[in-house]
Amino acid sequence: MARIGFAYNQRPPASATTAAGPRTDAPIPDDDSLDASALLALAPDADDEFAEWDDPATIDAVEAALRPLGEVIRLEAVGDFAERLRRARVDIVFNIAEGLHGPNRESHIPAICEFLGVPYTASDPFTLALCLDKARTKEALSARGVRTAPWVLVQDPDDLARAERALPFPVFAKPVHEGSSKGITERSLCRTPVELHETGRFLLERYRQPVLVERYLAGEEFTAAVLGNGRDARVLPVIRMNFASLPEGALPIYGFEAKWVWDVPGAALDIHECPAPVDARLLAELEHLTLAAYRATGCRDWARVDLRLDDAGVPHVVEINPLPGIMPDPAANSCLPMAARTAGLSYEALIQAVARLGAERCGVALAGGVA
């Protein structure tokens, strides 16, 4: 029987942090008490340090899905991971670890696997580091003619004047290497140079990394998951964001507030429409762009691509997630599992499909799977 190592990062219990992830036991107020002061306490300045990591329910669900394929050995991606991996003698690692620190954090676990000669699922260290840097990703996309909004990378406050001159307003400002919408709030949309300078300085100071300033894409938003490799890579049913589901007056963006503050258990936002209700031509364009982005960045096995239309209805790639969020509870609004469900793939089948894609690439044999 194959030995499957399972690499993950588990979000610390809420008591250990002020992380605002409502999918944990975090002290998120219930619906009625979610007033302005509670919102302010949670965002935009809430401590979102652990927003990328997975909760115990996700980790349990992935382990359960992998069990029919082999013996699963949990390898939490902390501390002496490398030593535990070496001793575990696994045939393959199923990797969802977001990593601990730094702009290459998502690459650390795959790099350790490569160093020890252990096969692993999903993208390699290079692709993971590339996609975590949204500016370098945009360079890779542009070089291949994959449409993405014009941008300026702001390294220090002096660059803000350059961004102001180079891009038409409104613009959108976000940290260059975060995920799960850390640092992306309503104040990311800057309508004037004054707002750009305020937000830009705030983000530089708070996240201690360059700020990506882009043309604001004013149209609809989509996210599209890809499963597979090479010619067999296929786009799962595309999801459209229903911004009408956001609180009245909210901006049409899927940022920190929409993901982590307004979308709480028991009062989930009905924000995802899957399959996206769009005409065949736009769907084909979205799918084409999604696969082009997947290939341009060298993604493997699975990924999720975020897209938006500009004010003329032309689709652009916003960013690529080679370690996509995979919360198992259908009520949890997790995009990739939702797209898989719409395609007729259960959560177990999705996880097993990814394990098999990785195993096939690496010549590892896995056992049966779900009936």
Minimum gap (Å) between residue 282 Cβ and Mg ion: 20
**Contact map string, positions 270 to 309, toward Mg ion, x by CB under 5 A:** ------------------------------------x---
**Contact map string, positions 216 to 255, toward ligand ATP, x by CB under 6 A:** xx---x-------------------------------xxx
Distance CA 290, CA 296 (A): 10
Pairing of strands 171-175, 189-190: antiparallel
Minimum gap (Å) between residue 359 Cβ and Mg ion: 28
221 interacts with, out of ligand ATP, Mg ion, none, CB within 5 to 8 A per kind: ligand ATP
Distance CA 278, CA 314 (A): 13
The two structure tokens encoding residue 46: 């809430």
Q: Are 176 and 212 in contact (CB under 8 A)?
A: yes
CA neighbor of 54 nearest in space, from 343, 328, 356, 365? 328
Minimum gap (Å) between residue 130 Cβ and Mg ion: 15
Beta strand ranges found along 254-296 (DSSP E)? 272-273
Stretch that binds ligand ATP, among 1-9, 63-71, 226-234, 317-325 (CB under 6 A): 317-325
Touching ligand ATP, residues 252-271 (CB under 6 A): 253-255
Minimum gap (Å) between residue 132 Cβ and ligand ATP: 9
Touching ligand ATP, residues 181-210 (CB under 6 A): 181, 184
Q: Are 135 and 212 in contact (CB under 8 A)?
A: yes
Helix, strand, coil share (%) of the chain residues, nearest 5 = 40, 20, 40
Q: Are 150 and 107 in contact (CB under 8 A)?
A: no
Touching ligand ATP, residues 133-172 (CB under 6 A): 149, 172
Count the alpha carbons within 13 Å of 231 in the hemisphere toward its beta carbon: 0
Pairing of strands 151-154, 171-175: unpaired
Minimum gap (Å) between residue 282 Cβ and ligand ATP: 17
Q: Which residue among 10, 24, 321, 352 contacts ligand ATP (CB under 6 A)?
A: 321
> Can you give the binding site for ligand ATP, defined by CB under 6 A?
149, 172, 174, 179-181, 184, 214, 216-217, 221, 253-255, 306, 308, 318-319, 321
